[in-house]
Structure 1
């Protein structure tokens, strides 16, 4: 059976919008044309892909067909690129945006040459995991943690960086003059979270591990909002990966944490059944950056990682010394 990519594209657009009219706008054609193309694809496949009663929704056959249909379109785009010389496209969704994940990705991709990157802003790891499983993106980058009910089954991850974490306080915090701090020193302070705490696995585990019971969270309104809150909250603090640039006009202090030093684990994730052709080269880029910049140093007697991050240490690259 030969699949017409025009028909498959109409199906994928409709599946993404669950609306023939909006799919037509996306494809720059008419609703009638999209409807006909989907109907023709259903005829070719011998299966109904959408239920059309009381609105448009995917049928069971449509749910099964959608991931493979997305892969077909992606493969078609890559095939065209090999002939036109346009260069391959890599779709990568990141999360944990206040921690600037793309600064780490940028270090690893320099050696890949003429590659077209399409970064996407993921809401959090669960949403990026779903995008990977659906085939909406090729790679995910951020802090990966186990998802309930096996929702991450079929996904593979590679630890690429362990970044030391600093404590960030405003100028009026009682500990603002310290040169270094221990996590235990923060027990009488208030952990200010940049989003709802149930979405911040690392911060929640950090607070639980070091007995920090006073916590303040809320909607993610951006780095400037968080910085302003810290500046006006004498007892407030947050923790940030050490190399993240912070606003320098508000007098915030970034203080190293020791005894132990918490580490933030950055990982690359992908769907094992749909490896991007450039994945191996990208992993080599991360490994080289890790050796050069000592990204994967971990000493149990010195550092702290959440228990759920320990399995990621197996097979990690040995850092350069």
Structure 2
């Protein structure tokens, strides 16, 4: 049979998310359209690839065998198009974690003419790490920048990564918060407040780990209507706070207070496909490393700073 790449893409998105709705959202399809594409693919192959159940979606034995060749087929199709065009295609870089303003860091690297190679960088906005990982594995983007955490389900082994920046994090408070006048706060000082979130806590790995480590029990989940809407909401929650890197611009009426003893650090990583990476990714990584060296982006002192244990294992070896 001749593979229909739209059907292959639908299968891969569903296999990576293990969820029809999330896969459909990522591909900008209805769930019905997504299901039809997968059904046609299964009909053509004569094998069931996915098992649909109340708890989600699982690969069948045939689906597990098809997964890596399907990724390779999609990547080969993308490479064929690029070969015909005969031009240096931009490195497509997706960023996520918009509350923490990832473009501030990316801009410092991309705008530095000595920091990356001849391939231009084309930046897009991803929703979250799982969506970015799916786009990477399907060859739709070449690299991703944001907070990385284990994804499991075979995706971790297919993606390479490098931690490139650690950023001190401040507490952001409204004017009526009882601690708004402090010059500095310990993380434990916030344990009786309410942590405002732009999404459910289980989707915000760093904030979840912070809440667990420092005993913050109260959380308030806000509608994710963008940073411009989310941060001003602190003015209306007298005991509310959130966390952002110290360099993030803030709207009027809220205050950032440095956190000390320890200072939490937010980890940013670059990730890319382990197989057949775009040649410009290596140059882009060298750019992050060089700019980071000049600005001391990876400075970490265990007695002064707090870094989630999983992130500590990502620190590059020191000379």
Aligned: 1:239 with 2:249: no
Runs of 4+ off more than 4 Å: 57-65
The correspondence of residues 183-262 of structure 1 with structure 2, limited to 5 A, is 183-247=187-251, 249=252, 251-262=253-264
Counterpart CA distance in 2 for 1:96 and 1:64 is 28
| Contact 2:199/2:224 (8 A) holds in 1 | yes
Aligned partner of 2:119 in structure 1 is: 115
Aligned: 1:313 with 2:315: yes
The correspondence of residues 110-149 of structure 1 with structure 2, limited to 5 A, is 110-111=112-113, 112=116, 115-149=119-153
Counterpart CA distance in 2 for 1:277 and 1:78 is 13
Counterpart CA distance in 1 for 2:188 and 2:282 is 41
Aligned partner of 2:80 in structure 1 is: 76
Aligned partner of 1:12 in structure 2 is: 5
Aligned partner of 1:275 in structure 2 is: 277
Indicate how the Cα distance of structure 1 residues 113 and 155 shifts in structure 2: closer, same or farther if over 3 A, else same.
Answer: closer
Aligned partner of 1:24 in structure 2 is: none
Using structure 1 for the length normalisation, give the TM-score: 0.76
| Contact 2:75/2:138 (8 A) holds in 1 | no
Aligned: 1:304 with 2:296: no
| Contact 1:78/1:89 (8 A) holds in 2 | no
Aligned partner of 1:177 in structure 2 is: 181
- Give 1:150 shift: 4.3
Work out which of the two has the higher radius of gyration on C-alpha atoms and give 1 or 2.
1
| Contact 2:96/2:145 (8 A) holds in 1 | yes
Aligned partner of 1:291 in structure 2 is: 293
Aligned partner of 2:26 in structure 1 is: none
| 1:206-245 deviations in Å (ceiling 9; x for gaps) | 0110111111124422112212320110000000011122
- Give 1:78 shift: 4.1
- Give 1:290 shift: 0.6
- Give 1:49 shift: 5.7
| Contact 1:12/1:66 (8 A) holds in 2 | no
Counterpart CA distance in 2 for 1:314 and 1:114 is 26
Counterpart CA distance in 1 for 2:166 and 2:201 is 22
Indicate how the Cα distance of structure 1 residues 63 and 314 shifts in structure 2: closer, same or farther if over 3 A, else same.
Answer: closer
| Contact 1:196/1:219 (8 A) holds in 2 | no
The farther-off stretch of 98-107 and 190-199 is 98-107
SS at match of 1:153: helix
Using structure 2 for the length normalisation, give the TM-score: 0.77
CA-based RMSD of the aligned residues comes to 2.7
- Give 1:303 shift: 0.4
Indicate how the Cα distance of structure 1 residues 308 and 17 shifts in structure 2: closer, same or farther if over 3 A, else same.
Answer: closer
- Give 1:62 shift: 6.7
- Give 1:164 shift: 0.5
**Count of residues paired in the alignment:** 273
The correspondence of residues 16-55 of structure 1 with structure 2, limited to 5 A, is 16=9, 51=43
| Contact 2:9/2:74 (8 A) holds in 1 | no
Indicate how the Cα distance of structure 1 residues 179 and 146 shifts in structure 2: closer, same or farther if over 3 A, else same.
Answer: same
- Unaligned stretches of 5+ in structure 2? 12-39, 51-61
- Unaligned stretches of 5+ in structure 1? 1-6, 19-47
The farther-off stretch of 194-203 and 61-70 is 61-70
| Contact 2:132/2:144 (8 A) holds in 1 | yes
| Contact 1:138/1:270 (8 A) holds in 2 | yes
The correspondence of residues 60-71 of structure 1 with structure 2, limited to 5 A, is 63=67, 65-71=69-75
